[in-house]
Chains A and B, each alone.
Chain A
Amino acid sequence: MLYFSRLKTALILLACALGVLFSLPNVMRAPAGWLPWRQLHLGLDLKGGSYLLLQVDMDAVLRERLEGLVDTARRALIAGNVGYQSLAAQPAQDRVVFRLRDNAQQAAALKALRDALGTSAAGATPELQVQASTDGTVSITLSPPALQERASAAVQQSIEIVRRRIDETGVVDPQIARQGVDRIVVQLPGVSDPERIKQLLGKTAKMTFHLLDSAANVTAASPPPGVEFLPMQDNPAQKLPIRKRVEVDGGDLTDARAAENPQTNEWVVDFAFNAAGARRFADITRANTGKPFAIVLDNKVISAPVIREPIIGGRGQISGRFDARSATDLALLLRAGALPAPLTVVEERSIGPELGADSIRAGALALGVGFGLVIVFMGVFYGLFGWIANLALVVNLILMLGVLSLLQATLTLPGMAGILLTLGMAVDANILINERIREETRAGRGPVAAMEAGFQRAFSTILDSNATALLAHVMLFVFGTGPVRGFAVTITVGIITSLFTATMLARLIMVRWYGRLRPAALPV
């Protein structure tokens, strides 16, 4: 325990040097561009910013999928001349069911459905399962893995759209990540009032173009088949009979810009379609000149202008009593694309830059004072070996910074508390070693034997006591979120680096000191 080979000494010193090197980026600029200059990130609670947690509406994903299945089934059954009744989606059971009018048509019904849905009769592990029971009910059930896949794809796609929308707002360096099954974390550094972003993210922005059913009576209790009554955006009391069939989809847009109409001084949104959209748009407007054409956004009619002439360039304009802001926002949403499912903001945490700066000041003050108190205590109660422990403690702090920078960890306010607590606990190893050496000395051992025994006996205790603390904090990291995670990270890293500095570095210094001076008695 007292002998350090040259190699071991070199390795210990190298580790310390690397620690210094990796912590340097936090205090100075990179001297050369090619160096991996990694800094510790400041958490939003320290630098100010917004944290938003979004929930993807999975029920909507399921409902939309089932509605699609209902449509497909209806068409397949009609095409196959199969009589059916009460065809409906049952979201709670992940399925679509209907009853056959004539049970003898069961085989024909199954064939029509399987052909339309593309599932094989043998059905290995298809996305869908088509089943018929003897009482004439037929069900199309979505398999759980397929549902999960679809939900997962919806979240992935939502993340992409969220990213595009936020990028459009000009927020610098946003971080968007999936959390759990159906949640998305959005971190916006420097944004202390995320109201506009919350509003932008809360809109599905599904835009479609529809024809109107001029024969329908909007005061009727229920709309005729294939038609729905949708409210006007700026006047929800007024409803229009919109044909359900989507003539042109907003997904075909390539651009959308807000502009002010010079004649009317009204704000409008100019848009452009891709080739496919432009062709569809031209066909529809040519065939329906003189009829109203509704622009529907998230189940609300923005406007329903009358088509005056065929629009063949694939360019159009939406006017709907916009002001500068609503026109800009709509254009932004249309450019970024529609969300596959509605998003709800379920958590917001915003910190202004003033409060972040206050927190840094408070944390730094506490860190400085606490560090000073621990150092004075060690120096006063443990003399020279206490100062060696203090030196190891300073190296530990540098190593912690180095490792945290290397991991690109985020420093949060609780993380600063974690650093301080680690410093308080790190000297425990030195205290254990020093107390042990003192005991061995009192038991009559000479300096070498006392140091030898002190290091050796204290080591297993140090390992045991640190292992349990480590376990608790790893759990905190696994289950914790946000700033608390920062605490778990710093303290976990700190426990590991302190094991090195207290048992290796401090020991090396103590042994070197002894080897050089050969004192008759140890300063314990």
Chain B
Amino acid sequence: MLIRSRFRLVPDGTRIAFMRGRFLGLAVSAVLSLLSLGLFVYPGLNLGIDFKGGIVIEALTPGPADFAKIRASLTHEHLDTTGVQRFGAEDDVLIRLESQPNEAATQAAADRVRHALDQAVPGTKVLRVDAVGASVSADLLHEGMLALAISFLMILMYIWFRFEWEFAVGAVVTLLLDITKTIGFLVVTRLQFDFVMVAAILTVLGYSTNDKVVVYDRMRENLRKYKSMPLRQLIDLSINETLNRTLGTSMTVFLASLPLALFGGETLSGFAWTMLFGIVVGTSSSIFIAAPILLFLGEHRLRKDAVAARPAKPPATA
């Protein structure tokens, strides 16, 4: 009967001394994040048309696509494409154009591509047209960054409100390291950075915070429970106690994202791969980054006995 499970991700009573690897963890993380920042500067994100503007047209030709003919027809219409390529099947064509000098020209160019396609290969079905003007893409970029920044601030405030400030700082520094690595991942994989990627990053942010909150919550509980345990030992204990949950939840979110990456189609697969990467980074950073930062920040402060040993402030006089 399935009543009691025999499977555990890690056996009960596991006691791994994670804090022994704290310098290594931080160092690896810092190096990866620095590298990511470098990649962000050069070559930079592969901005999609949401943020860069331009035109993307996907079309289905009746037979195998005749690219030479399509290119010739586009050139004839004086359309300066940045790419005419096969997209999956051999009758699936993807045409890209840079954004035009003004909004009306961008829209007119999109319509001309339709005509050019119809002339080159009559019977072509246009599957998708995205034509985004420069002012719209600038606004979208602004809104995307604002969403990220404000979410970040709100998470900081929430943790600050619910935990001691050491926890908030630990969480935010870790989240920054997570996000930089996710951006590095996006640069390396050349995944298109569109608005849906902002959604992916925000979801990773939410997921990663969630993970940190659970581990922190246990530390806070243990701080009250074991008054005399050294902080380092206490942090290790808390991580180990929550290890099954941390890995379990990572697994379920990972399992939910995997099919999206594999068969979610073009729009969702980039999103899902970013999620998968974020889950791995977010889970490991809870253990190897967030906890050591707390250890450094709270070595002398978070212990109740240490607080009690501090000289009491003289009462303020009027």
On whether the beta carbons of B252 and A428 are closer than 8 Å, the reply is yes
Chain A residues within CB distance 8 Å of chain B: 45, 53, 55, 192-193, 195, 198, 202, 344-352, 354-355, 358-359, 362-363, 365-371, 373-374, 377-384, 386-387, 413-414, 416-417, 420-421, 423-425, 427-428, 431-432, 435, 438-439, 442, 457, 460-461, 464-473, 475-476, 478-484, 487-488, 491, 523-524
On whether the beta carbons of A363 and B199 are closer than 8 Å, the reply is no
Output the residue of B8, B103, B159 with the most chain A CB within 10 A: B103
| A476 partner, pick from B8, B151, B258, beta carbons under 8 A | B151
- Whole-angstrom CA separation of A19 from B104 in the bound complex: 47
Contacts of A193 in B (CB 8 A): 114, 126
Contacts of B217 in A (CB 8 A): 460-461, 464-465
Contacts of A359 in B (CB 8 A): 265, 267
Residue of B with least CB distance to A466: B210
- Whole-angstrom CA separation of A76 from B245 in the bound complex: 81
Contacts of A435 in B (CB 8 A): 242, 244-245, 248
Q: How far is the CB of B82 from chain A (nearest CB, A)?
A: 18
On whether the beta carbons of B214 and A432 are closer than 8 Å, the reply is yes
- Whole-angstrom CA separation of A202 from B146 in the bound complex: 32
Residue of A with least CB distance to B148: A475
| A348 partner, pick from B5, B131, B206, beta carbons under 8 A | B131
Contacts of B126 in A (CB 8 A): 192-193, 350, 352
Q: How far is the CB of A519 from chain B (nearest CB, A)?
A: 9
> What 3 A-B pairs are tightest by C-beta distance, nearest first?
A424-B256, A469-B206, A383-B5
On whether the beta carbons of A386 and B143 are closer than 8 Å, the reply is no
Contacts of A380 in B (CB 8 A): 5, 7
Given contacts A431-B252, A468-B209, contact A475 B2 (CB under 8 A): no
Within 8 A of A (CB), among B145-159: 146-147, 150-151, 154-155, 158-159
- Whole-angstrom CA separation of A357 from B162 in the bound complex: 46
Given contacts A421-B203, A431-B245, A488-B199, contact A347 B131 (CB under 8 A): yes
On whether the beta carbons of A467 and B196 are closer than 8 Å, the reply is no
Contacts of A438 in B (CB 8 A): 12
On whether the beta carbons of A414 and B147 are closer than 8 Å, the reply is no
Residue of B with least CB distance to A427: B252
On whether the beta carbons of A472 and B203 are closer than 8 Å, the reply is yes
Q: How far is the CB of A422 from chain B (nearest CB, A)?
A: 9
Binds A, one of B25-33, B35-43, B73-81, B132-140: B132-140
On whether the beta carbons of B264 and A366 are closer than 8 Å, the reply is yes
On whether the beta carbons of B136 and A377 are closer than 8 Å, the reply is no
Contacts of B144 in A (CB 8 A): 479
Q: How many A-B residue pairs have C-beta atoms within 8 angstroms? Tell me.
A: 252
On whether the beta carbons of B129 and A348 are closer than 8 Å, the reply is yes
On whether the beta carbons of B127 and A421 are closer than 8 Å, the reply is no
Given contacts A344-B104, A465-B214, contact A475 B264 (CB under 8 A): no
Residue of A with least CB distance to B204: A472
| A381 partner, pick from B8, B154, B271, beta carbons under 8 A | B8
Output the residue of A374, A416, A471 with the most chain B CB within 10 A: A471
Contacts of B9 in A (CB 8 A): 381
Given contacts A355-B128, A484-B196, contact A472 B155 (CB under 8 A): yes
| A355 partner, pick from B127, B206, B218, B242, beta carbons under 8 A | B127
- How many chain B residues touch A (CB < 8 A): the figure is 82
On whether the beta carbons of A487 and B199 are closer than 8 Å, the reply is yes
Given contacts A346-B103, A348-B131, A383-B5, contact A425 B207 (CB under 8 A): yes
Contacts of A421 in B (CB 8 A): 203, 253, 256-257, 275
Within 8 A of A (CB), among B43-62: 58, 60
Contacts of A346 in B (CB 8 A): 103, 106-107, 132-133, 135-136
Given contacts A350-B129, A369-B259, A382-B5, contact A432 B207 (CB under 8 A): no
Contacts of B2 in A (CB 8 A): 379, 383-384, 387
Contacts of B248 in A (CB 8 A): 381, 431, 435
Contacts of B147 in A (CB 8 A): 475-476, 478-480
Contacts of A371 in B (CB 8 A): 256
On whether the beta carbons of B259 and A432 are closer than 8 Å, the reply is no
B84 near A: Cβ within 8 Å? no
On whether the beta carbons of B256 and A423 are closer than 8 Å, the reply is yes
Residue of A with least CB distance to B147: A479
Contacts of A198 in B (CB 8 A): 107, 111
On whether the beta carbons of A351 and B127 are closer than 8 Å, the reply is yes
Contacts of A417 in B (CB 8 A): 260, 264, 268, 271-272
- Whole-angstrom CA separation of A17 from B74 in the bound complex: 58
Contacts of B159 in A (CB 8 A): 468
Q: How far is the CB of B30 from chain A (nearest CB, A)?
A: 24
Contacts of B132 in A (CB 8 A): 346-347, 349
Contacts of B162 in A (CB 8 A): 464
Output the residue of A371, A438, A461 with the most chain B CB within 10 A: A461
Contacts of B195 in A (CB 8 A): 480-482, 484
On whether the beta carbons of B263 and A483 are closer than 8 Å, the reply is no
B198 near A: Cβ within 8 Å? yes
- Whole-angstrom CA separation of A386 from B7 in the bound complex: 12
B3 near A: Cβ within 8 Å? yes
- Whole-angstrom CA separation of A113 from B8 in the bound complex: 87
Contacts of B166 in A (CB 8 A): none
B249 near A: Cβ within 8 Å? yes
Q: How far is the CB of B4 from chain A (nearest CB, A)?
A: 4
Given contacts A352-B127, A523-B4, contact A469 B245 (CB under 8 A): no
Contacts of B257 in A (CB 8 A): 370, 420-421, 424
B213 near A: Cβ within 8 Å? yes
Q: How far is the CB of A209 from chain B (nearest CB, A)?
A: 28
On whether the beta carbons of A523 and B107 are closer than 8 Å, the reply is no
Contacts of B86 in A (CB 8 A): none
On whether the beta carbons of A420 and B256 are closer than 8 Å, the reply is yes
Residue of A with least CB distance to B197: A484
Q: How far is the CB of A88 from chain B (nearest CB, A)?
A: 27
Question: Can you list 18 A-B pairs, Cβ within 8 angstroms, ordered by A?
Answer: A55-B103, A195-B111, A345-B103, A351-B128, A355-B128, A362-B263, A366-B263, A377-B252, A381-B8, A414-B271, A439-B241, A461-B217, A465-B210, A472-B154, A473-B206, A476-B198, A476-B202, A479-B150
